[in-house]
Amino acid sequence: QKEVEQDPGPLSVPEGAIVSLNCTYSNSAFQYFMWYRQYSRKGPELLMYTYSSGNKEDGRFTAQVDKSSKYISLFIRDSQPSDSATYLCAMSGAGVNTGKLIFGQGTTLQVKP
Amino acid sequence: DTGVSQDPRHKITKRGQNVTFRCDPISEHNRLYWYRQTLGQGPEFLTYFQNEAQLEKSRLLSDRFSAERPKGSFSTLEIQRTEQGDSAMYLCASSLSGRGDTQYFGPGTRLTVL
């Protein structure tokens, strides 16, 4: 079993829809939770960063962390075709190397105009 | 542009050849990470440096792989005797050290081994 599980999709939604992306994890030692966006054949771009449990909002994006359930989510409001990309959840803070990121598989999102 | 840069962006090589990739981190960042990403998967950690010291290597990093960061600035990743299974995107990221350091990724080097 992987440390971080993420539904690979693909997920297809109409423009303007609310998108919900999720990851579950098994290592309770993770403390830092991130969402990266990756366009095809490009490097990951940091979208959201959250420490411990709680919510964080940035424009159309909201990240939620529920450490008790080992579950994190990213919500995208008013989705746009430019949001079409692969979304990767990532976690760190466990073990000696607290900076090492453990990624989910990535969810491919397509927003149709 | 002050982001992370990687060179080359693409590399095609024949099985058995050696290849070397370079990563230039954001200038004030003292940590540098290498990850490998195969199609349809998330990046997997390979190794990381704090300044010039290589502090951790993944079990994914076989003896054919070696990484250096000689002066604590740029880093190189060399793969000797490449195999078809080495075909992947090799990503570099940099950060300022600290718990939960925020990592910024470069564009990656896409390696194809024929």
Q: What is the pLDDT of residues A22-72, one digit of tens each?
A: 999 999 889 899 999 999 989 999 999 998 888 999 999 999 999 999 999
- Decide: helix, strand or coil at residue B59: coil
Residue owning tokens 């159309």: A60
pLDDT at B87: 97
Ranges in chain B, pLDDT < 50: none
Residue owning tokens 């880093």: B75
pLDDT at A111: 97
Average pLDDT over every residue of A77-81: 97
Which residues have CB under 8 Å from A90's CB, separation 6+?
A4, A33, A34, A35, A36, A101, A102, A103, A104, B42
pLDDT at A76: 97
How many CB atoms sit inside 10 A of residue B89's CB? 22
Q: Which residues of B touch A39 (CB under 8 A)?
A: none
Q: Check CB contact under 8 Å for B106 and A99.
A: no
* Residue in A41, A49, A104 closest to B102 by CB: A49
Cα angle: B27, vertex B74, B112; to 5 degrees: 125
Q: What pLDDT band is residue A95 in, cutting at 50, 70 and 90?
A: low
Q: What pLDDT band is residue A96 in, cutting at 50, 70 and 90?
A: low
Q: Check CB contact under 8 Å for A100 and B56.
A: yes
B51: left (phi over 0), alpha (psi -120 to 50) or beta: left
Q: Check CB contact under 8 Å for A6 and B95.
A: no
Q: Check CB contact under 8 Å for A32 and B43.
A: no
Nearest Cα of chain A lies from the Cα of B101 at a distance, in angstroms, of 6
Q: What pLDDT band is residue A19 in, cutting at 50, 70 and 90?
A: very high
pLDDT at B112: 98
| 8 Å CB contact between A107 and A11 | yes
Mutate to test the interface with B, among A34, A88, A91, A101 (most CBs of B within 10 A): A101
